């Protein structure tokens, strides 16, 4: 499999409305800024624990969430900052969670690997690779049994597609025809192992055939293409049953904060940096005359401001009381 | 002295009788009391070893309890140097009140040697250890019954149960002591009467605070904590007052006391000194129109201060009658609770107890209190010669926040003047 | 009062809760038309239909994960894992997802799901269909663990488990399915976390649960008849949360404790029970070492004589009681 993702056409499907496009640009910028800030906090020694960054993969998360309806649910991955911001989580409380503060969305008890906000329809990031797939099937079953008009989007990575739960979940969703989109963000690495080494098919989406469900790939660095594919996937899930959509992209950063990239060629990383999905969306918006330089600059500035504000909020927030360690074990 | 021998007065059970634990078995007489000895186990009285009237050393075995038909062991009538308990137990239910309800085959002994770890520690269950610790028993002297060699509760419990002599138990109960909390000086660490006597001798008596005591404690502590007080003293020449009382006595009828006269003089003075007929409450001085005189009255284990209301309006005789009735009723505990409320000034008198000077404590929120001491004859220089006059020392404690020294002195002098220029009111 | 079997009691509990609360549904392998491997859910499909009584593929991880997802989104799933040994096939869903999600998410969600799992040996099913896996599960904070010993408790505890907002692992005892007992017809629950004293006694305490309760009671009767000693038999009923007060009070009262369970000894729940006793003030009342009588540290063998020999029997329990009383 080449490092260059297959390109998907976007010409014959509807395009996102302008305000959606601008929101996508803002949220992708917020995600980038959030992660750059988080990475800086690590180097400054201000945070303990770990984080997994989706820099370069923002379109694959936010292109999807922008295509959803408010009642839809997502299960995020451990690399899910973009997915969470896209689903409308409060950035202040995300940052506070990252810093382990009492005001964090999980009261400082989950950290950014377990960020969840059920009120925003984010059923949570999972630290166990592939665990979210059957859980998403359960949420889709719940949707069915409660006769709700809603779709569940289950994000997972190329690595998770090798877990047994991938097989069990896709099969179960397929036989029950549940409204769930299996959204594989193929960032080409399962920790250090390249997708070309851990999978023996040229395109992960062909795996859908084994379950009798639709499966196809999109250019995960093209936010518009991802949005179009996600709209289509959502509609299939809502009306027919599950489908598998693969957004092909690239993990610019290491697996987690403690990764020295010893297993890959730095030149390739640089090539992918040049394909930055944010720059790409910006160029596309300008080219189409959908936004001006000033508008986009203002959105970038707002993203920076929002993250600064979130950091200030988080830093000013108290640590959890020691007693908090003993609450929420049981309902 | 510890009890060393006892006289068996009477056997209450005969051999062959069934005995329940706690049932009186015999009656013994010591140098102090006659008492019943209770069975420490249930069973059948197999043998009574001494006749009624016999004098027996305290460590001597006097009876055997066991199963019907059992033969008691051969008996030595002299106590051996390793003492054995007064009543041997050969019963299956030695201690109903403890859970170790099985074979009490152990005893205090010098042999055989109990099982021990190489380091000298004695293996025992937590329950056995707990009981031994509570009762101060030395586990090393107890023989284990279990094949694993570790002491069980059943090994320790019978010994623990016998650790207090009956007399000591009775004395301890009287003194409100837990005899098992004491170190026993008797054989095998048994707590004896002497231990109880010793323990009682060194102990303070704990007296719980009565409601009144608690109130006095709180109010006096409050006064001393809050009030910057000062005490002024002077003596009034009450020779004329005493003479007047003698005349009244001779005329018959009730005669106002010296204290009544003081109350009368104080009531009149207070009408002229509003800051002394006052209370200090929450940073405010409240000067009261009526003189409500508090009179300190000693009662059993305490002190009460009933109030004579509107004292400035009363004649001496009326005030005297009121004071007499009020004090009598207070002593009898018959005054209603509101009779102690609303005082504006207090008079306290220790004169009848011969006190020459004292510093009374203000009864808050009042601003002053007058102490009346014992009158005494004093030589006084008058007109170039020495005459003996009767002098009454008065001590005024005042709240310096309200009353400065000069004002207090003026008031005290006003009282003094009234008493000295005594006119029959 | 009428008598029904343990299996019928479980079926009644399921049916009553399915009727009572539309959020309740039931899924597992072969639970619908087949009626479950042990016939426990026979007849439920006819009353509740295939939407609420769902056959699943042989996909324990998917069953457990789906239960978690459903429980997070407004339903109260009950799932059957055909043999409790198979919880190892969905351990992540149970131990990392069901157990921890509420905590990791700062209390944002409840996790009202029940995992029914038939446990125990005695059926000749050998090593992979006979284990008593409670110790694995009790070690995971966030899960509750129930092991009923009577039809009455099976029904009342299952109804309480379904109404509980936490993940509950409900360990059914295969060999008890056909045992009968009195079960009220009226609606009732047995609260989680309460032990039941099955027999009063003052000389020693037996701590047990599940299938071993009946054997312990038999052994206790034998002891009373032959030795005149009275054993108190405490049926724990719920392992997590444990009724520590009842355990400690009984140990304190008698001073001698025997722990009996079918599961293997090493790392078993009995060790926890012993530690609860020894770590409480009951320690000071102990008049003998705390004894465990557990399953042997072996897989369950196939041969019936061997199979019977690796779990406590009435005889071995009675012998252990006598030994403790010496």
The answer to whether A54 and A61 are in contact (CB under 8 A) is yes
Is B129 domain-assigned? no
The C-alpha torsion from B411 through B412 and B416 to B418, rounded to 10°, is 20
* SS3 call for B65: strand
- pLDDT tens column, B3-32: 567 788 888 888 888 887 777 888 887 766
Give the model's pLDDT for residue B67: 78
Average pLDDT in the C36-44 region?
Answer: 96
Write phi, then psi, for C195 (nearest 5 degrees). -75, 165
Angle between helices A18-43 and A58-65 in degrees, nearest 10:
140
- The end-to-end CA distance of chain A, in Å, is 47
DSSP structure class, residue C174:
G
Q: What tens digit of pLDDT does each residue of B350-384 get? A: 999 999 999 999 999 999 999 999 999 999 888 88
In the listed set B57, B91, B125, which residue is the last one of a domain according to the structure?
Answer: B91
- Place B175 in a pLDDT band, splitting at 50, 70 and 90: confident
How many residues can be counted in chain B? 425
Domain count, chain C: 2
Q: What residues 140-199 of chain B have any CB closer than 8 A to a CB of chain C?
A: 146-147, 152-154
Q: Does one domain contain both C200 and C178?
A: no
Give Cα B35 to chain centroid, integer Å.
28
How far out from the chain centre does Cα B301 lie?
A: 11
Same domain membership, residue C201 and residue C141: no
> Are C287 and B102 within 8 A, CB to CB?
no
Per-residue pLDDT tens digits for C72-110: 999 999 999 999 999 999 999 999 999 999 999 999 999
DSSP class of residue B362 equals P
- Per the structure block, which two tokens stand in for B145? 């019954």
Computed on alpha carbons and rounded to an integer, the radius of gyration of chain B in Å comes to 37
As a whole number of Å, the end-to-end CA separation of chain C is: 41
Residue C288 touches chain B, beta carbons under 8 Å: yes
pLDDT at B178: 77
pLDDT of residue B125: 92
* Domain extent at residue B308: 211-420
CB under 8 Å to C309, separation ≥6 — which residues? C296
Is residue A103 within 8 Å of A96, Cβ to Cβ?
yes
Dist. CA B30–CA B39, nearest whole Å:
18
Q: If you count residue pairs, one on B and one on C, with CB atoms under 8 Å apart, how many are there?
A: 38
User: The tokens 């004589």 sit on which residue?
Assistant: C305
- Which class for C113: exposed (0-12), middle (13-18), buried (19 or more C-beta within 10 A)? buried
Contact state of C203 with B101 under an 8 Å Cβ cutoff:
yes
Rounded Cα–Cα distance for residues A21 and A280 (Å): 12
Rounded-to-integer distance, Cα C1 and Cα C4, Å: 10
Q: Could you list the residue range(s) of the whole structural domain that residue C293 is in? A: 196-325
Give the distance from CA A82 to its chain's centroid: 5
Q: Which two tokens stand for residue A33?
A: 């800024």
Q: Give the total residue count for chain C.
A: 326
Q: How confident is the model at residue A327 (pLDDT cuts 50, 70, 90)?
A: very high
End position of a domain, from candidates B41, B70, B91: B91
pLDDT of A175 > 80? The answer is: yes
Quick one: which H or E segment has residue C206? Answer: strand C204-208
* pLDDT: which is higher, B191 or B343: B343
Task: In whole angstroms, give the CA distance from residue A291 to residue A295.
Answer: 6
Separation of alpha carbons A174 and A240, rounded Å: 10
Where residue C54 sits, what CATH number does that domain have? 3.40.50.970
Residue B121: per-residue pLDDT: 82
Structural tokens at position A26: 């803002």
pLDDT given for residue B104 in this prediction: 37
Does C187 map to a domain? no
Q: What is the pLDDT of residue B424?
A: 62
| Averaged pLDDT for residues B43-61 | 81
Q: Range with the lowest mean pLDDT among A256-265, C16-25, C40-49?
A: A256-265
Identity of the residue in C68, C102, C108 whose CB atom sits nearest the CB atom of A135: C68
State both tokens at B361: 């404590």
What's the Cα-to-Cα distance from A137 to each of A129, A153, A171, A230, A321, rounded to whole Å? 16, 10, 10, 18, 36
Contacts with A, C 134-173, CB within 8 Å? 141-142, 144, 165-166
Does the structure show a pLDDT above 80 at B150? yes
| C203 annotated active-site | no
Q: Is A142 on the interface with C (CB under 8 A)?
A: yes
Q: Which residue has the higher pLDDT, B155 or C250?
A: C250
Same domain assignment for residues C217 and C273: yes
Confirm whether C188 is domain-assigned.
no
Query: B360 by DSSP, 3-state: which?
Result: coil
Tell me: pLDDT of A1 over 50.
no
- Tell me: do C144 and C290 sit in the same domain: no
B76 domain residue, yes or no: yes
- Write out chain C residues lying below 8 Å of A123, CB-based: 69, 72-73
Within an 8 Å CB–CB cutoff, is residue A178 touching chain C?
no
Give residue-wise pLDDT tens across range B303-330. Answer: 999 999 999 999 999 999 999 999 999 9
What distance in Å separates the CA atoms of residue C72 and residue C23, rounded to the nearest whole number? 12
* CA–CA separation, B174 and B172 (whole Å): 5
Provide the pLDDT confidence category of residue B106 given band limits of 50, 70 and 90.
Answer: very low
CATH code assigned at C270: 3.40.50.920
Quick one: C143 and C270 in the same domain?
Answer: no
What 3-state class would DSSP assign to C173?
Answer: strand
Of A131, A153, A123, A122, give the one whose Cα is nearest residue C70: A123
Homologous superfamily (CATH) for A18-311: Thiamin diphosphate (ThDP)-binding fold, Pyr/PP domains (3.40.50.970)
Q: Are residues C176 and C232 in the same domain?
A: no
Tell me B124's DSSP state: B
pLDDT of B410 higher than 70: yes
Residue B53's pLDDT band, with cuts at 50, 70 and 90, is: confident
Query: Of residues C54 and B300, which shows the higher confidence score?
Result: C54
Q: How far is Cα C132 from Cα C120, in angstroms, rounded to an integer? A: 5
Please state whether the peptide bond connecting residue C241 to the residue before it is cis, i.e. omega within 30 degrees of 0: yes
Q: What DSSP line would sit under C94-126, residue for residue?
A: IIIIITTHHHHTTT------EEEEEE-S-SS--
Q: Is residue B186 part of a domain?
A: no
**Residue C236 burial by Cβ neighbours in a 10 Å radius (0-12, 13-18, 19+):** buried
Residue at which a domain ends, from C182, C209, C235: C182
For residue B86, what pLDDT is reported? 36
Q: In percent, how much of chain B has pLDDT > 90?
A: 43
Residue C206 has pLDDT above 90, yes or no: yes
Judge contact between C135 and C210, C-beta under 8 A: no
Q: How remote is the C-alpha of A246 from its chain's centroid? A: 12
Span B262-285, mean pLDDT?
94
Same domain, yes or no: C203 and C160: no
**pLDDT value for B211:** 85
C66/A171 touch (CB, cutoff 8 Å), yes or no: no
Domain contains B224: yes
CATH number of the CATH domain containing B302:
3.30.559.10
B354, part of any domain: yes
Of the two residues B169 and C201, the one the predictor is more confident about is C201
Residue C260 class from Cβ within 10 Å (0-12 exposed, 13-18 middle, 19+ buried)?
Answer: buried
pLDDT tens sequence across C257-309: 999 999 999 999 999 999 999 999 899 999 999 999 999 999 999 999 999 99
Q: How high is the ipTM of this complex?
A: 0.92
Q: Element (H or E) spanning B43, and its range?
A: strand B43-48
Distance of CA A48 to the CA centre of its chain: 23
Residue that terminates a domain, selected from B91, B120, B155? B91
Contacts of C73 in chain A (CB under 8 A): 73, 123, 138-139, 142-143, 146
Final residue before a domain boundary, out of C117, C150, C182: C182
Summarize the confidence of residues B36-64 as an average pLDDT.
Answer: 80
Burial of A43 (0-12, 13-18, 19+ CB in 10 A): exposed
Instruction: Give the residue, A9 or C3, on which the prediction is more confident.
Output: C3
User: Is there a contact between A134 and C109 if contact means CB atoms under 8 Å apart?
Assistant: no
Question: Which chain C residue shows the shortest CA-CA distance from B126?
Answer: C284
Chain C residues lying within 8 Å of A109, measured CB to CB: 103-106
Q: How far is B90 from chain C (nearest CA, A)?
A: 18
Work out the mean pLDDT of chain A and round it to a whole number: 93
CB environment A265-276: b (16+ within 10 A), e (fewer): eeeebeebeebb
Region class of C30: left (phi > 0), else alpha (psi between -120 and 50), else beta: left
Of the residues C132, C150, C182, which one is the last residue of a structural domain? C182
Question: Are residues A36 and A251 in contact, defined by beta-carbon separation less than 8 angstroms?
Answer: no
Q: Please name the residues in contact with B190: beta carbons below 8 A apart, sequence gap of 6 or more.
A: B162, B163, B164, B165, B184
Work out the mean pLDDT of chain C and round it to a whole number: 97
Q: Are A56 and A248 in contact (CB under 8 A)?
A: no
Contact B125 C203 (CB under 8 A): no
Segment C242-264 shows an average pLDDT of 97
Helices (H), B252-334: 258-272, 316-331
Q: Is C220 part of any domain?
A: yes
Q: Are C36 and C178 in the same domain? A: yes
| Residue C294, in any domain of the structure | yes
Q: Nearest Cα to B222, choosing from B323, B61, B327, B366?
A: B366
Flag the least confident range among A228-232, B64-68, C195-199: B64-68
C near B: at least 3 beta-carbon pairs less than 8 Å apart: yes
Query: Mean of the pLDDT values across residues B178-185?
Result: 77
Give the C-alpha separation, C276 to C280, whole Å: 6
Predicted local distance difference test score (pLDDT) of residue B32: 62
The answer to whether residues C36 and C167 belong to one domain is: yes
Task: Check whether residue C200 and residue C177 sit in a common domain.
Answer: no
**Domain assignment of residue C190, yes or no:** no
A:C CB pairs within 8 Å:
148
pLDDT tens digits, A45-80: 888 888 899 999 999 999 999 999 999 999 999 999
Question: Of A34, A111, A70, which Cα lies nearest the Cα of C105?
Answer: A111
The helices-and-strands tally (H runs, E runs) of chain C is 12, 14
Task: Indicate whether C59 belongs to any domain.
Answer: yes
Q: What is the CATH number of the domain that holds B57?
A: 2.40.50.100
Residues B68 and B15: beta-carbon distance below 8 Å: no
């Amino acid at each position: 499999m080449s490092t260059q993702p297959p390109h998907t056409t976007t010409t014959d499907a509807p395009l996102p409305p302008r305000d959606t496009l601008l929101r996508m640009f803002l949220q992708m910028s917020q995600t980038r800024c959030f992660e750059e800030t988080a990475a800086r906090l690590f180097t400054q020694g201000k945070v303990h624990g770990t984080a997994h960054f989706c820099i370069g993969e923002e379109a694959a998360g936010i292109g999807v969430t922008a295509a959803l309806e408010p009642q839809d649910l997502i299960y995020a991955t451990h690399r899910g900052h973009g997915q969470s911001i896209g689903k409308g989580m409060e950035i202040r409380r995300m940052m506070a969670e990252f810093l382990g503060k009492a005001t964090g969305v999980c009261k400082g008890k989950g950290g950014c690997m377990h960020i969840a906000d059920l009120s925003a329809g984010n059923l949570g990031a999972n630290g166990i690779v592939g665990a979210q797939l059957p859980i998403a099937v359960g949420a889709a079953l719940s949707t069915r049994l409660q006769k709700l008009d809603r779709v569940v989007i289950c994000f997972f990575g190329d690595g998770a597609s090798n877990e047994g739960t991938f097989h069990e979940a896709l099969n179960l969703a397929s036989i029950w025809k549940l409204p769930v989109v299996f959204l594989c963000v193929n960032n080409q690495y399962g920790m250090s192992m390249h997708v070309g080494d851990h999978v023996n098919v040229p395109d992960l989406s062909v795996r859908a055939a084994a379950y009798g469900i639709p499966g196809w790939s999109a250019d995960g660095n093209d936010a518009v293409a991802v949005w179009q594919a996600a709209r289509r996937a959502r509609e299939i899930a809502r009306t027919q049953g599950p489908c598998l959509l693969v957004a092909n992209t690239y993990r610019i950063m290491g697996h987690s904060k403690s990764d020295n990239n010893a297993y890959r060629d730095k030149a390739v990383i640089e090539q992918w940096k040049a394909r930055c999905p944010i720059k790409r969306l910006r160029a596309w918006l300008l080219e189409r005359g959908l936004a001006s330089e000033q508008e986009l600059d203002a959105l970038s500035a707002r993203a920076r401001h929002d993250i600064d504000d979130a950091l200030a909020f988080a830093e000013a927030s108290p640590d959890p009381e020691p007693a908090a360690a003993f609450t929420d074990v049981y309902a | 002295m510890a009890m060393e021998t006892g006289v068996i007065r009477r056997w209450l059970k005969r051999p062959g009788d069934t005995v329940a634990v706690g049932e009186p078995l015999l009656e013994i007489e010591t140098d102090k009391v006659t008492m019943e000895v209770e069975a420490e186990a249930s069973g059948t009285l197999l043998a009574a070893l001494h006749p009624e009237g016999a004098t027996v050393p305290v460590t001597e075995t006097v009876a055997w309890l066991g199963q019907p038909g059992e033969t008691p062991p051969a008996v030595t009538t002299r106590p051996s140097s390793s003492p054995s308990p007064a009543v041997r137990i050969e019963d299956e239910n030695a201690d109903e009140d403890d859970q170790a309800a099985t074979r009490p085959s152990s005893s205090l002994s010098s042999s055989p040697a109990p099982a021990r770890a190489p380091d000298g520690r004695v293996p025992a269950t937590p329950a056995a250890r707990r009981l031994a610790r509570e009762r101060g028993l030395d586990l090393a002297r107890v023989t284990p019954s279990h094949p694993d060699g570790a002491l069980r509760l059943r090994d320790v419990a019978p010994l623990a149960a016998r650790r207090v002599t009956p007399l000591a138990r009775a004395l301890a109960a009287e003194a409100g002591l837990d005899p098992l909390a004491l170190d026993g000086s008797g054989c095998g660490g048994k707590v004896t009467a002497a231990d109880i006597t010793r323990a009682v001798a060194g102990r303070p008596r704990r007296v719980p605070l009565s409601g009144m005591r608690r109130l006095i404690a709180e109010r006096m502590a409050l006064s001393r904590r809050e009030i910057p007080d000062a005490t002024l003293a002077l003596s009034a020449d009450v020779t004329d007052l005493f003479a007047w009382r003698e005349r009244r006595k001779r005329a018959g009828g009730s005669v106002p006391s010296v204290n009544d006269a003081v109350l009368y003089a104080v009531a009149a003075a207070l009408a002229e000194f509003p800051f002394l007929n006052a209370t200090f409450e929450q940073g405010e001085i409240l000067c009261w129109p009526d003189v409500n005189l508090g009179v300190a009255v000693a009662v059993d284990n305490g002190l009460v201060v009933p109030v004579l209301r509107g004292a400035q309006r009363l004649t001496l005789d009326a005030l005297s009658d009121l004071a007499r009735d009020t004090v009598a009723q207070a002593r009898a505990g018959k005054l209603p609770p509101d009779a102690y409320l609303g005082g504006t000034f207090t008079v306290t008198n220790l004169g009848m107890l011969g006190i020459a000077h004292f510093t009374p404590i203000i009864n808050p929120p009042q601003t002053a209190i007058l102490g009346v001491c014992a009158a005494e004859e004093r030589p006084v220089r008058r007109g170039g010669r020495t005459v003996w006059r009767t002098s009454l020392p008065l001590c005024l404690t005042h709240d310096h926040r309200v009353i400065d020294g000069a004002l207090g002195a003026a008031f005290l002098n006003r009282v003094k003047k009234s008493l000295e220029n005594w006119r029959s009111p | 009062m009428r008598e029904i079997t343990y299996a019928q009691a479980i079926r009644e509990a399921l049916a009553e809760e399915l009727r009572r609360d539309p959020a309740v549904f039931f899924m597992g392998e072969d639970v619908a038309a087949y009626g479950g491997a042990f016939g426990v859910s026979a007849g439920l499909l006819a009353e509740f239909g295939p939407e609420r009584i769902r056959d699943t593929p042989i996909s324990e991880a998917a069953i457990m994960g789906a239960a978690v997802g459903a429980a997070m989104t407004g339903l109260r799933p009950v799932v059957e894992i055909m043999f409790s040994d198979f919880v190892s096939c969905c351990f992540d869903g149970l131990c990392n997802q069901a157990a921890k999600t509420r905590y990791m998410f700062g209390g944002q969600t409840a996790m009202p799901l029940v995992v029914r799992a038939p446990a125990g040996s005695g059926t000749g099913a050998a090593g992979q269909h006979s284990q008593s896996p409670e110790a694995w599960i009790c070690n995971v904070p966030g899960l509750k663990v129930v092991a009923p010993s009577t039809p009455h408790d099976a029904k009342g505890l299952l109804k309480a488990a379904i109404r509980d907002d936490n993940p509950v692992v409900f360990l059914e005892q295969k060999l008890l399915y056909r045992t009968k007992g009195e079960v009220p017809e009226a609606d009732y629950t047995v609260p989680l976390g309460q032990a039941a004293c099955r027999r009063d006694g003052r000389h020693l305490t037996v701590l047990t649960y599940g299938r071993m309760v009946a054997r312990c009671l038999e052994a206790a009767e034998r002891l009373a008849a032959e030795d005149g000693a009275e054993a108190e038999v405490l049926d724990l009923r719920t392992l997590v949360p444990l009724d520590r007060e009842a355990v400690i009070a009984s140990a304190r009262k008698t001073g001698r404790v025997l722990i009996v369970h079918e599961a293997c000894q090493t790392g078993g729940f009995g060790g926890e029970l012993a530690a609860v006793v020894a770590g409480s003030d009951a320690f000071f009342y102990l008049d003998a070492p705390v004894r465990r009588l557990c399953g042997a540290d072996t897989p369950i063998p196939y041969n019936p004589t061997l199979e019977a020999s690796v779990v406590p029997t009435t005889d071995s329990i009675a012998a252990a009681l006598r030994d403790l009383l010496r």
